[in-house]
């Protein structure tokens, strides 16, 4: 038998989910999960890529660890999302927190999208390879 319940603390924005499992030998197992972490792990935030001028919308995000960001190319030209330092014209257009691995979406044609799940907290700066010179740079702060 499994019972799910949630508790709310009146002065805090925390919610906890308690999973109570009865085992056949009569033992009782209780596990507590922070529901806000669970929600963040399954949430997706969308960033669109536009033309005239080429940019990410929004250019800056603040998300929780475990959040997935989906970049959608709503423009009429190729775009991408990169944190590969070797591909940047200006090294200041790339930043990764310690422990994070570089990522690159490859070129996305109009209508295509690409997703990345953020598991390392810190500040990320990314760019579009063909439009970096036009200022197409984005920022994501991932809260731990």
| Domain CATH number, residue 104 | 2.60.40.420
- Whole-number mean pLDDT of the chain? 80
The residue with greater pLDDT, 62 or 6, is 62
In this structure, the answer to whether residues 74 and 110 fall within a common structural domain is yes
Note whether 78 and 133 are same-domain residues. yes
Same domain, yes or no: 104 and 56: yes
Whether 90 and 40 have beta carbons less than 8 Å apart is answered as no
Question: Rounded to whole angstroms, how far apart are CA atoms 61 and 128?
Answer: 16
pLDDT, tens digit, for every residue of 46-56?
999 999 999 99
Query: Helix, strand, or coil here: 96?
Result: coil
Q: Which stretches of 9-53 are assigned E, i.e. beta strand? A: 15-22, 28-34, 44-50
Tokens of 83: 């944190």
Q: Domain containing 18: what range?
A: 2-39
Q: How far apart are CA 132 and CA 144, in angstroms?
A: 29
Looking at the fold, whether 130 and 114 belong to one and the same domain comes out as: yes
Cα gap 81→64, rounded to integer Å: 20
Q: Note the pLDDT of residue 113.
A: 98
Residue 130 and residue 81 share a domain: yes
Do 27 and 73 lie in one domain? The reply is no
Regarding whether 33 and 99 lie in a shared domain, the answer is no
Shared domain for 78 and 15, answered yes or no, is no
Q: What is the tally of structural domains in the chain?
A: 2
Q: What percentage of residues in the chain have a pLDDT greater than 70? A: 71
d(CA 72, CA 44): 12
Question: What pLDDT digit, counting tens, does each position of 10-32 carry?
Answer: 333 333 333 333 333 444 333 33
What pLDDT score was predicted for residue 21?
32
Q: What is the pLDDT of residues 61-87, one digit of tens each?
A: 999 999 999 999 999 999 999 999 999
Which residue is it, tokens 């499992």?
A: 21
Do 54 and 121 share a domain, yes or no?
yes
Residue 59: strand, helix, or coil: coil
Q: Taking 70 as the threshold, does the pLDDT of residue 99 lie above it?
A: yes
* Rounded Cα gap, residues 62 and 84, in angstroms: 21
Confidence category of residue 42, pLDDT binned at 50, 70, 90: low
* Separation CA 70–CA 116 (nearest Å): 7
Task: Please tell me whether residues 8 and 53 are part of one structural domain.
Answer: no
Q: Are residues 88 and 128 in the same domain?
A: yes
Task: Answer yes or no: do 101 and 136 share one domain.
Answer: yes
């Amino acid at each position: 038998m499994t019972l799910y319940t949630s508790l709310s603390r009146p002065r805090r924005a925390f919610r906890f989910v308690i999973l109570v499992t009865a085992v056949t030998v009569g033992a009782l197992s209780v596990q507590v999960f922070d529901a806000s972490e669970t929600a963040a792990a399954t949430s997706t935030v969308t960033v669109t890529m536009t033309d005239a001028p080429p940019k990410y919308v929004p250019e800056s995000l603040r998300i929780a660890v475990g959040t997935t960001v989906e970049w959608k190319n709503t423009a009429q030209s190729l775009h991408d999302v990169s944190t590969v330092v070797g591909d940047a014209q200006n090294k200041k257009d790339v930043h990764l927190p310690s422990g994070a691995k570089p990522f690159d979406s490859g070129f996305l044609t109009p209508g295509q999208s690409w997703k990345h799940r953020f598991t390392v907290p810190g500040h990320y700066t990314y760019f579009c390879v063909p439009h970096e010179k036009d200022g197409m740079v984005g920022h994501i702060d991932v809260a731990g």
